[in-house]
Amino acid sequence: MRAVRLASTVATAAVLLAALTACGSKGGSDAKSTDAKSAAAQDPGSLAGALTGDPKAALAASALVMQKAGNGKVAMTSLDTSNLGGGGTADWKDPAKVSVDLAADMEGKKLKVRVVGTDAYVGGDDAGAPALGGKHWVKVPASEKMGGAFVVMGQMMNPVAQLTVAAQSGKLSKVGQETVDGVQTTHLRSVEDTSVLVAGMTALSPEQRQSVQKLLEEDGKTLTIDFWLNGKQELVKYQEYGDTNGESKAVTVKYSDLGKGDKIEAPAAGDLGSQADLLKLFG
C-alpha cells in the first residue's frame, strides 16, 4: 500500500540515527559524558581551537553545546523527493523522549507529523479534517511500520546522539571552511561502516538488527555523515548518505533558533480521528 511504502522510505532514511541514539544511551553514555566534560573543561581559547584542530574534539564539544540548547527549529530536506521533507521544532533535552513537530511534505502531500517520545501522530490541515471525521490527527502505533518509521524520524533529529557517535567511531576528517546560509562554518566528515554500527546496536533484538542491516545496506555498506559547526560550536547542518546512491539520496537536517523551540505536546484526545481514516490523508 502507498502509505506503507512512504513509511518504508522514511525508515530507510532515518533508522540509523534512532538505533545510534539507543546505542549511545547504553554502554556509550559514560564515554559521551566524559568526552563532553573534557571538552568543556578546556579554556575558551583551546575549546574554540578545537574547530580548526582535532575533529573528534570539535564534535564532542559541539555535542555539549547542543545538549545545553535542548531544542530548536529544524528543517529536513532531500534531493530525492520521495523522502520526507519538512520544517518545524525538535526537542532533545531527554534522549529517551525526543519530540518533533513538523509541517511535512511527502511526495506532494502536505501533512503534519508529531512525535512525542515513542508516540507518533499524523495529521492534516483544516482542509483535511473532513477526511478524519472533523478531527486533525491520527495516532499511529509505534508497533506498526508507519508509526515506527516516524518515531525513528524523531530520533533522527537528536543532534547530541549524532555528534557523540561520530566523535566515538568512524573515520573523521576536516573538509574545510564553508558558508551555510551566510554563516561561516567548519565542515567535518565521519565515514562509518554499516555492519560495525549495526553490531553495536545492543538495544535492538537480533531480528531488528537484521532488518536495520538490510535497510541500511540499501544505501550502502558505508555511510557518510557530514557536520557543519559554526564559531559557537553549534551544529548548523548535518547530512547523511550511503555509498550506493551517494548524495543523490542524502537527507539533510538544519538547526536554528537553538534553545527557543516551542513546547511539543501530544494532540488532545478529542482531536484524534480513527486510524481507519489515515489512508485518506495520503489520497
* Domains of the chain, start order: 2-262 (2.50.20.20)
Residue pLDDT, tens place only, 42-100: 443 344 444 557 899 999 999 999 999 999 999 988 777 666 678 999 999 987 788 99
Helix boundaries (H) for 25-139:
29-41, 44-49, 55-69
d(CA 110, CA 133): 18
CA 249 to chain centre: 15
Residue pLDDT, tens place only, 176-198: 999 999 999 999 999 987 776 66
Write the CB contacts of 166 (distance below 8 Å, at least 6 apart in sequence): 59, 172, 188, 190, 192, 225, 227
Q: Which three cell numbers stand for residue 233?
A: 560550536
Q: What is the helix (H) or strand (E) element at residue 80, kind and residue range?
A: none
Cell 512512504 found at: 6
Let me know: does 118 contact 100? Beta carbons within 8 Å: no
| Crossing angle between the packed helical segments 29-41 and 159-168, to the nearest 10 degrees | 90
d(CA 176, CA 228): 10
Confidence of residue 245 (pLDDT cuts 50, 70, 90): confident
Let me know: does 251 contact 241? Beta carbons within 8 Å: yes
Provide, rounded to the nearest whole percent, the portion of the chain with pLDDT above 90: 30
